[in-house]
Chain A
Amino acid sequence: MTGLAAHHKMLMLFAGVGALLVVASAIGWALARRVATPEGRATIDNLNARIRAWWVMIAIFAVGFLLGPAATLILFALTSFYTLREFVSLTPTRAADVPPIAASFYLFLPLQYWLIWTEWYGLFAILIPVYAFLLLPSLAALTGDVQDFLLRVARLQWGLMLTVYCVSHAPALLTLDIPGYLDQRFFLLFFLIAVVQMSDVLQYVFGKLFGRRKVAPVVSPSKTWEGLIGGGLSATALGAALWWMTPFTPLQAAGMAFVIVAMGFLGGLSLSAIKRSMGAKDWGTMVKGHGGVLDRMDSVCFAAPVFFHLTRFFFTP
């Protein structure tokens, strides 16, 4: 199957995902007609809102594929923009933070994506960890406001690292020079997003069906061991089943999927802890049924850089 042309594979993929969503929508519709208790109705409404948001996301993905890498980069840059906006909006800021915030949005965010476009890997990898790390506190210090200085600078750096640096590693997969795979790099991105999101959905479903023991009740009350193990292993298996679209063998695909699932879980947990330390339940209200955009991207934040570097280390010359 690895011999299939790229657009042929893509057609199969969208047909597969489309069929999956049709089944999910039908189940959601049937459940909504059967459920009687108000508590059950709330769960089903939540499920159906998630499924609807899924349709929108897959449509956006299709547009990105059809219009090419530039469109995909712009879509991810917009995602970084909105998630950074959600992060900064929820974080307490002072007037003196405006210059470093402006530099984050108007300088580092576009620059990071431009570096992917020009495939300048060396600067892409250090722009934010080195240059933003040093410039942001400098800009804040120049204003002379020292109240909560370290806290304010650290929060902004966390936001920029997560929403711009980490997220940008997903579209950066399109720049990896894997021999014999140059026209199919879009599938690496698809593989990453598909495994992360299937893992999220399956953990939610397994947790609702069998969840008893909570992993971290204070941080994230909805995460259970049953959901994590059941959903995580199913997502790993589904990831392995997608090996034909990747440069990996089935076993390698399973290993990669496992790492993505594990990192995604840790990302969800860490961002939940950050969110709760700021006294909020959702990052925003942008996506119906999904809270904010960052609520959907939290797993990608942690999974994308690790998947990118593992693939780069083992599969590029």
Chain B
Amino acid sequence: MIDLLLIGATRFLVGGAPHWVGCEPTRRQRIYFANHGSHLDTLLIWAALPAPLRGRTHPVAAADYWGGEGVMGRIARDTLKAVLVNRAGGAEAGDPLAPLRDMLAKGESLIIFPEGTRTTERLPGPFKSGLYRLALDFPQVELIPVYLENPGRAFPKGALIPVPIACAVRFGAPLALGAQEDKAAFLARARAAVSELAP
């Protein structure tokens, strides 16, 4: 019920039509990785997936924003079934990727934002290494680049409420980690794959 309301509100306010440019929606295990400009991003990709895939695809969200007991926290936990990660890091925090590995080991799919934080630019900034490490440990998982058009305009950093500006979600062709490819080269290629989907 909440999920239908959430999807309805998203469609009404910002649209978010899915464009399967380089791949089709399938049940294969996947990591969707996208540019990050807004708190709408998670919701947009999740709502753009067909209903059967939604339940098994988990957005990765920052615990400091989405982990609370308020409305946002409840939506993240109960409706989006998000995986919360601790951005603070530090030695005592342990491996921040551990909850992601657990999910992938269970055969579930993930939505991640490799920039790590929201940016104000149209094209994504440098990627953090998490995507590379997951690709290395889970070679059977398909890596799908996703470009989010306009959420950074509809609900930019610092804005109090989102405004109705039409957004689109563009899914690109799967990317695979090359046999000899090093971290920097792979992350640059992944970032370019997202940028190329920008209209």
Distance, CA A98 to CA B151, complexed state (A): 12
User: Is residue A93 contacting chain B, with contact meaning CB distance below 8 A?
Assistant: yes
Q: Are A89 and B158 in contact (CB under 8 A)?
A: no
Other-chain contact of B159, A89, A98, A284 (Cβ < 8 Å): A98
| Min CB gap B16→A, angstroms | 12
Q: Which residues of A contact B165 (CB under 8 A)?
A: 85, 88-89, 93, 101
User: Is residue B166 contacting chain A, with contact meaning CB distance below 8 A?
Assistant: yes
Top-9 shortest CB links A-B: A95-B156, A89-B166, A98-B159, A101-B163, A85-B164, A89-B165, A102-B163, A105-B164, A93-B153
Distance, CA A102 to CA B164, complexed state (A): 8
Known contacts A89-B150, A102-B161: A95-B166 contact under CB 8 Å: no
* B interface residues with partner A (beta carbon < 8 Å): 15, 17, 120, 150, 153, 155-161, 163-166
| Min CB gap A104→B, angstroms | 8
Other-chain contact of A88, B15, B159, B164 (Cβ < 8 Å): B164
Which residue from chain A places its CB closest to the CB of B12 in the assembled complex? A81
Other-chain contact of A98, B15, B17, B156, B166 (Cβ < 8 Å): B156
With A84-B164, A89-B165, A95-B156 given, name 12 new contacts (CB 8 A).
A86-B166, A88-B163, A89-B166, A93-B165, A98-B156, A98-B159, A102-B160, A102-B161, A102-B163, A105-B163, A105-B164, A285-B17
Q: Which residues of A contact B159 (CB under 8 A)?
A: 95, 98
Distance, CA A285 to CA B155, complexed state (A): 22
Query: What are 25 contact pairs spanning A and B, CB under 8 A?
Result: A81-B164, A84-B164, A85-B164, A85-B165, A85-B166, A86-B166, A88-B163, A88-B164, A89-B150, A89-B165, A93-B165, A95-B120, A95-B153, A95-B156, A95-B157, A95-B159, A98-B155, A98-B156, A98-B159, A98-B163, A101-B165, A102-B160, A102-B161, A105-B164, A284-B166
Distance, CA A85 to CA B164, complexed state (A): 6
Q: Which residues of A contact B158 (CB under 8 A)?
A: 95
Q: Size of chain A's interface in residues, with CB distance under 8 A?
A: 15
| Min CB gap A52→B, angstroms | 20
Which residue from chain B places its CB closest to the CB of A84 in the assembled complex? B164
Distance, CA A105 to CA B14, complexed state (A): 13
Chain A CB count within 10 A is highest, among B17, B160, B163, for B163
Which residue from chain B places its CB closest to the CB of A89 in the assembled complex? B166
Which residue from chain A places its CB closest to the CB of B14 in the assembled complex? A85
Q: Which residues of A contact B15 (CB under 8 A)?
A: 85
Interface positions, chain A 91-124, Cβ under 8 Å from B, are: 93, 95, 98, 101-102, 105-106
Distance, CA A84 to CA B164, complexed state (A): 9
Q: Which residues of B contact A93 (CB under 8 A)?
A: 153, 165
| Min CB gap A55→B, angstroms | 23
Q: Which residues of B contact A88 (CB under 8 A)?
A: 163-165
Distance, CA A102 to CA B157, complexed state (A): 15
| Min CB gap A247→B, angstroms | 38
Distance, CA A81 to CA B13, complexed state (A): 9
Which residue from chain B places its CB closest to the CB of A109 in the assembled complex? B164
Interface positions, chain A 271-288, Cβ under 8 Å from B, are: 284-285
Q: Which residues of B contact A89 (CB under 8 A)?
A: 150, 165-166
Q: Which residues of B contact A106 (CB under 8 A)?
A: 161
Distance, CA A105 to CA B157, complexed state (A): 20
Distance, CA A102 to CA B156, complexed state (A): 13
Distance, CA A181 to CA B150, complexed state (A): 48
Distance, CA A291 to CA B169, complexed state (A): 19
Q: Which residues of B contact A98 (CB under 8 A)?
A: 155-156, 159-160, 163
Q: Which residues of B contact A102 (CB under 8 A)?
A: 160-161, 163
| Min CB gap A19→B, angstroms | 35
| Min CB gap A87→B, angstroms | 10
Q: Which residues of A contact B150 (CB under 8 A)?
A: 89
Q: Which residues of B contact A85 (CB under 8 A)?
A: 15, 164-166
Distance, CA A284 to CA B165, complexed state (A): 12
| Min CB gap A277→B, angstroms | 18
| Min CB gap B179→A, angstroms | 42
Q: Which residues of A contact B153 (CB under 8 A)?
A: 93, 95
